[in-house]
Amino acid sequence: MTKRSLRRLAAAFLGVALLVPAAAVTPVAAQEEGPTVTGAWIGPCCNGVDWVTPWDGGGDAHFFNKIYSRLTTYEVDGDRYGDLIGDLAESWEISEDQLTWTFKLRPDVTWHDGEPFTAEDVAFSFNLALDPDKNMTAVYGAPLQSVVGADEVLAGTADTLSGVNVIDDHTIAVTFKAPNALFPDSISELFILPEHLVGQLDVATLKENPYWAEGQVGTGPFMWHAYTPGESVELKANPNYFLGAPKIGTLIRRNFVDPAAALLAFDNGEIDFTYLTADEVARESENANATVFPGPSGVDNVIQCNPVKVPACANDDFRHALLASIDRESIIENIYGGAAEIVPCLYGRPNLQGDVAAQEYDPELAQELLASSGVDVASIGELTFDTYYTDALSLNVMTAIAAGWQETLGLTVKIEQMAEGWVERYYEQGESEISFFGAANGPTGERARNYFYSKSAHPAGNNGWSGANAWHYENPELDALLDSGPTAFDPAEQDAIYQQACQIMADDLPWLYLWQTVRYHVVSNSLQNVILIPAAGGGSYYDAVEKWEKVG
């Protein structure tokens, strides 16, 4: 019997969740050196300060990467991603049969509590990411589904991935069922967790465990120090960070109800950086005390119509009618100020789109599609059109979309911007009817595996709606392409496979794909050496936060 099986058995016998010992979660002592920097992780990226679990944080990745590290990450080239580089991994190589990746890990890394980081932590994190009993979704665990033994772990017949082999403390090998050229890239977004702490927690109540709020432990540049629900999270510099102790002593994440409130605090000098909506860029560009950071978001805005709550959404012609009723070019020009590009599928990169054409705005076609669908719009009634975006610009966008549906199809929706509770409604409860949100399109074509691969639809949580593939979309042809994409080591061959996948996504429309925007942050000029890609939650990148300085 494995150690995890024993822990589960003990928890079940005692009828309690296994907690980490109190001494292990005591907040770290304050560091005297270094100034305090306060920021607002707000806007399209983030869930708020009360979302304290890292693996299902999604857009909060840019905050959690201050606490945690990954095997790999990306360097920044101007305002976008550059080359893949090591984070916890020093190097990696593929075997001659192209089935096994071997990673050499940094030997100089310790957890915030002083325990050494080893390959056992990586193996533990990989196994936990696929554990079907855990109640915390590993949003970026999908690349592990092709590892040898993944099917058994997902089915609950094995606790560990047989394809993951710890060779020594600083070497780990991962063997796949088929060659996987993209694994070093696609695993770059999964934070590595400490086995000696998280391994003691009951997986069935993992998300609710007080460990996350009381003193979670990582290997990153900052350490958890204090959490005030609804108000803030305070981090302290990690003096033993493997890339050097940060020059900032304290990093505070303040909570704001919306980007407008955060921007007001920024203008008043209360915080040092925040997200900036496109309609505020011109004004802040005139601010002599600030710098605007623009860049491609790496995120698609999409609409999901829930086929369970709204049976009409299961009709292909009806979904295409919804998309053909949206004047995307007008919305981009008049609301986003031209700072967005229409996407035909999940992929925002031209090499992955190929010549796949995006659906054009065509009211006549929309009406024809509605007629051929056989859907009686009047019988649907008013739908709730919800989102977690709370800014005025997003409200304007959704209002324009709703107007197009009403005018062209006679469909009536009620817009609801949710400052909190959207994630639970959409993912955990499955109660959203039609939703507007953002989805990272990822560094490679593998990102579609997170959202649309049929095996990503794990039946866990309330009503079975857990996992990124929330509505259990399934297309065997797309599954096959997503399986074959990573096997291609030739970039041209790889692109051709994902272009076919893009065409299927455009034909099926499991989501209504809208656009990829330019996003913005505004940063006080008192912060120096800042590297910041506006897609705060759009993936993994090295922002060299240990080199950030605050002057004046």
Tokens representing 266?
Answer: 């920024």
Q: How many CB atoms lie within 10 A of CB 217?
A: 24
CATH number for position 475: 3.10.105.10
Residue 217 near residue 28 (C-beta atoms within 8 A): no
Per-state percent for the chain, helix, strand, coil, to nearest 5: 35, 20, 45
pLDDT score at 539? 67
What's the pLDDT score for residue 49?
A: 93
What whole-number distance in Å separates Cα of residue 73 and Cα of residue 84? 6
Q: 8: Cβ–Cβ under 8 A, 6 or more apart, which residues?
A: 133, 202, 203, 204
DSSP strand pairing (413-417 vs 383-387): parallel
Contact 50, 424 (CB under 8 A): no
Name every residue whose Cβ is closer than 8 Å to that of residue 66 and which is 6 or more positions away in sequence: 220, 221, 222, 235, 251, 545
Give which of 63, 37, 38 is closest to 52, Cα–Cα: 63
Contact 468, 483 (CB under 8 A): no
Is the residue at 80 inside a domain?
no
Q: Is the dihedral of CA 535, 539, 543, 546 positive or negative?
A: positive
Strands 171-175 and 164-168 come out as antiparallel
| Cα–Cα dist 101/184, whole Å | 8
What is the rounded distance in angstroms from the CA atom of residue 528 to the CA atom of residue 506? 43
405 falls within a domain: yes
Spatial distance between the Cα atoms of 215 and 210, rounded to a whole number of angstroms = 8
pLDDT tens string, the chain, 552 residues long: the values are: 444 443 443 333 333 333 333 233 333 444 457 999 999 998 777 788 999 999 988 778 889 999 999 999 998 887 677 899 999 999 999 999 999 999 999 999 999 999 999 999 999 999 999 999 998 888 788 889 999 999 999 999 999 999 999 999 999 999 999 999 999 998 998 999 999 999 999 999 999 999 999 999 999 999 999 999 999 999 999 999 999 999 999 999 999 988 899 999 999 999 999 988 888 998 999 999 999 988 777 889 999 999 989 999 999 999 999 999 999 999 999 999 998 999 999 998 899 999 999 999 999 999 999 999 999 999 999 999 999 888 889 999 999 999 999 999 999 999 999 988 887 888 778 889 999 998 888 778 988 988 898 866 444 333 333 345 556 788 999 999 999 999 999 999 999 999 999 999 999 999 999 999 888 899 999 999 998 876 545 568 899 999 999 997
Contact (CB, 8 A) for 369 and 324:
yes
Q: Is residue 548 within 8 Å of residue 528, measured between CB atoms?
A: yes
User: Are 196 and 216 a contacting pair, CB within 8 Å?
Assistant: no
| Residue 4 is assigned to a structural domain of this protein | no
Q: Is residue 73 part of a domain?
A: no
Please give the Cα distance from 507 to 498 (Å, whole number).
Answer: 14
Please tell me the distance from the alpha carbon of residue 433 to that of residue 397, in angstroms, as a whole number: 18
H-state helical runs in 27-112: 61-64
Angle at 317 between CA 372 and CA 341, to 5 degrees: 140
* 3-state SS, one letter per residue, for 207-236: CCCCHHHHHCCCCCCEEEEEEECCCEEEEE
Cα–Cα distance, 53 to 138 (Å, whole number): 10
DSSP assignment of 412-468: -EEEEE-SSSHHIIIIII---SEEEEEEE--SSTTHHHHHH-GGG----SGGG--SS
- Cβ 178 vs Cβ 487: under 8 Å: yes
Note whether residue 60 is domain-resident. Answer: no
Contact 460, 467 (CB under 8 A): yes
Domain assignment present for residue 183? The answer is: no
Task: Give strand pairing partners of 437.
Answer: 302
Flag whether the pTM goes above 0.85.
Answer: no
Count how many domains the chain has: 1
Within a domain: residue 535?
A: no
CA R_g for the chain: 23
Its domain, for residue 384, covers 297-517
Half-sphere exposure of 364 (CA within 13 A, CB side): 0
Sign of the C-alpha dihedral computed for residues 352, 356, 361 and 364 taken in this order:
negative
Q: Which residues pair with 175 in a beta bridge?
A: 100
Nearest partner of 270 among 36, 481, 95, 510, judged by Cα = 36
Q: Which SS3 state, helix, strand or coil, does residue 521 take?
A: strand
Classify residue 350: in a domain, yes or no: yes
